[in-house]
Amino acid sequence: MIITEMSVYCSMDIVEISKILSNELRVNILHWLKDPEANFPPHTDLKHFNDGVCVQYIGTKAGIAQSTVSQYLSWMQKAGLVIATRHGKWTYYRRNEEAIAKYIKHLSNNL
């Protein structure tokens, strides 16, 4: 059996990513981040969504405490699903399209 970098990556993370995606709100967050302009108000500070969406906006849309959404996003970041960017005291999150594509490809090829 030949083990490629991709299979090692996915075999290590596939279960963790699947656990994260087993929560409807976390799936919704990824969905919202796919088109931030349509799902969030304009950022008053950055004036763009290039670095993602502020945790505060995500928490407000989700209707949950900022601490909960921060924990969800931290798990998603550790799994590689989102990328965090700091601007001062604020953290912005955007989707990691490459990691999401690898996860989908792995599922398609192996299940």
Asked if residue 39 has pLDDT above 70, the reply is: yes
Long-range contacts of 14-23 (CB under 8 A, 24+ apart): 14/103, 14/106, 14/107, 16/78, 16/79, 17/79, 17/80, 17/81, 17/103, 20/75, 20/76, 20/79, 20/81, 23/72
Asked if residue 7 has pLDDT above 70, the reply is: no
pLDDT at 100: 95
Q: Rounded to two decimals, what is the model's pTM?
A: 0.84
pLDDT digits (tens, 9 = 90+) for 44-66: 777 889 999 999 999 999 999 99
Mean pLDDT of the chain: 88
CATH of 5-110, one of 1.10.3720.10, 1.10.10.10, 1.20.120.80, 2.60.420.10: 1.10.10.10
Domain positions in the chain: 5-110
